[in-house]
Amino acid sequence: MSLGQHLIELRKRLFIAAAALIVGMIIAAIVTDPIIRLLTVPIDLVAEQRGDTQKVALMFTTVASGFDLRMRIAFAAGLLLSAPVWLWQIWAFVMPGLTRKEIRYTIGFVAAAIPLFFAGCAVGWLVMPHIIEVMATLVPEGQALMYQYDYYYDFIVKLLLVVGVSFVLPVFLVALNLAGVVSGRGILKGWRVAVLVATIFAAIATPAIEVFSMLLLAGILVVLYFAAAGLALFFDRRKSKRDARMLPPDAAAGAGG
């Protein structure tokens, strides 16, 4: 295909992806009220703990604040609902330029990355209420605790994204191993640094006083790291056996000696 044909193909794929996103946003806009109620559950818990529902609430400071929050939720939910369509459009545009081996690897990485990302988001969602409750205990008694809607929404979304992406990092380690950039032994040797980084990341992502959430997140990240190292060692061993079979008999004998 010429450059012009590629651009026409790209425009078609982008149009389909944008149309799917718009449809997803329209569907998501219908259910924004249940989503908002779900997002504000931690605020309700804090209000019950403080015993004053009038001084703990989600705060809207401008005329268009309610509309802005609903649009943010509709976009995020619409992006999620339309993901099968726009992911397929990206894949359909890139796939013709890939070899059969690259296609097989890409499918494997995507099949592993998507469940891990959503698993990370689920863990982030479980940890999130504890973070909000613990941080609320630092506010002096008798003071109003009003959560500005945009900061509150951004905090939740960023937390889910950060934890979700951190769960996908082991997949990139395996990808680097298959690309020959790093060996399985090299990944395994860095376990002390990995444990330290996982602990620091968990401490940043969760309040310092919420030890259980920190240990849970750090433990999961460490387990995923060692799983990636084990998988990389398996691939290295299989590659070395395949290379040994491809060597001529005399070369194999010399290598053995």
Could you tell me the pTM of the whole model? 0.74
The Cα–Cα gap between 51 and 49 comes to 5
The Cα–Cα gap between 138 and 133 comes to 9
For every one of its 257 residues, what pLDDT tens digit does the chain have, with 9 covering 90 and above? Answer: 667 777 888 888 899 999 999 999 999 999 899 999 998 888 888 888 777 666 788 889 889 999 999 999 999 889 888 888 888 888 777 777 767 777 777 788 888 888 888 888 888 888 888 888 878 888 887 778 888 998 899 888 888 888 888 888 888 888 887 777 788 888 888 888 888 888 887 777 666 556 777 787 788 888 888 888 888 888 888 888 777 776 665 544 554 44
The Cα–Cα gap between 68 and 31 comes to 15
Q: Collapsing DSSP states into helix, strand and coil, what is residue 61? A: coil
Rg (CA), the chain: 24
Which H or E run includes 214? helix 211-246
